[in-house]
Chains A and B, each alone.
Chain A
Amino acid sequence: AQSVTQLGSHVSVSEGALVLLRCNYSSSVPPYLFWYVQYPNQGLQLLLKYTTGATLVKGINGFEAEFKKSETSFHLTKPSAHMSDAAEYFCAVSDRGYQKVTFGTGTKLQVIP
C-alpha cells in the first residue's frame, strides 16, 4: 500500500524567507509523486509532479521539489515566500500504471508580512 506523511500540519514563514514543506512517502514500487496547492474553499491545483528522469522537479509559482529515493522524501521548496503562497499544500503518491492517487493530510502555510 502506498502512503505519504507530511511533517507539520502548520508552517509559518516570513515573507521573503525560504519555504520548506516536508513529505515522506511509502510505496512498494517506484512511485509517482505530486504536490498540490489548495486555496480556501477551492479545489486542488497541481504544482509539480515527479514521474521519471531528473530528480529535481520545477513547478509553477517558483516551487520545486527533489525526489530522494534513499530518504524516501519529496520535499517542496521555494526560495522566497510571497503573501500569495499562503494556502494548504498536499503531497501525494501514485503507483505507476494506475491512476489512484493517495494524498497526505496537508500542510497549511502561513506567510507573515
Chain B
Amino acid sequence: EAEVAQSPRYKITEKSQAVAFWCDPISGHATLYWYRQILGQGPELLVQFQDESVVDDSQLPKDRFSAERLKGVDSTLKIQPAELGDSAMYLCASSVGGADSVYEQYFGPGTRLTVT
C-alpha cells in the first residue's frame, strides 16, 4: 500500500539552529500539505502545494519558515532559526487533488521536533 514518507521521524535541535524536514507524497498525488500540530491541538495548515505551486501559505511564518516542492513531487520544509515555540509534530499529507472536489488526504507519520 502506498504511503506518504517523512524523514526524520524525530529531531532535536537547539534554538537558533536550522532544521529541515522532508516529505515524499504518494505517487501521482498533485496536492501536498504541511501541517503543524502542537501537543494537545489539532493540525494547523502551514502550506499547501498544487504540483509545484503554492496554493495557500497564509499561516506560514515566512520570516523563519520556507517550503519548496521544486519538481512537484517531494517537498522540504525548513525552519531557520528554530525557536522554542516551534516544538511540535510536523505532518505532511497528500491527495489526488483537483478543483471543486474533495479528495481524501493521506498523512505521513510526522516529524516530532523538539527545540531546546
**Is B63 in the interface zone, CB < 8 Å from A?**
no
Contact assessment for B4 and A43 in the assembled complex, using a CB-CB cutoff below 8 Å:
yes
**Is A82 in the interface zone, CB < 8 Å from B?**
no
How would you classify the secondary structure of chain B's contact residues: helix, strand, loop or mixed? loop
Contact assessment for A43 and B108 in the assembled complex, using a CB-CB cutoff below 8 Å:
yes
Q: Contacts of B100 on A, CB cut-off 8 Å?
A: 96-97
Least CB distance from B108 to A in Å reads 5
Q: Within A61-100, which residues are at the interface with B (CB < 8 Å)?
A: 90, 92, 94, 96-97, 99-100
Give the number of chain A interface residues (Cβ < 8 Å). 24
**Is A103 in the interface zone, CB < 8 Å from B?**
yes
Number of residue pairs spanning A and B whose beta carbons lie under 8 angstroms apart: 58
Give the number of chain B interface residues (Cβ < 8 Å). 27
Q: Contacts of B31 on A, CB cut-off 8 Å?
A: 99
Least CB distance from A92 to B in Å reads 8
Least CB distance from A83 to B in Å reads 22
Known: A100-B56, A105-B41. A43 touches B93 (CB 8 A): yes
Q: Contacts of B108 on A, CB cut-off 8 Å?
A: 43
Contact assessment for A90 and B42 in the assembled complex, using a CB-CB cutoff below 8 Å:
yes
Contact assessment for B42 and A106 in the assembled complex, using a CB-CB cutoff below 8 Å:
yes
One of B56, B99, B102 near A94 (C-beta < 8 A): B102
A43 to B4, CA, bound (A): 10
Of residues A41, A90, A101, which shows the largest number of chain B Cβ atoms within 10 Å of its Cβ? Answer: A101
Which segment, of B14-22, B43-51, B70-78, B79-87, faces chain A? Answer: B43-51
Which positions in B face A, CB cutoff 8 Å? 4, 31, 40-45, 48, 55-56, 91, 93, 95, 97, 99-105, 107-110, 112
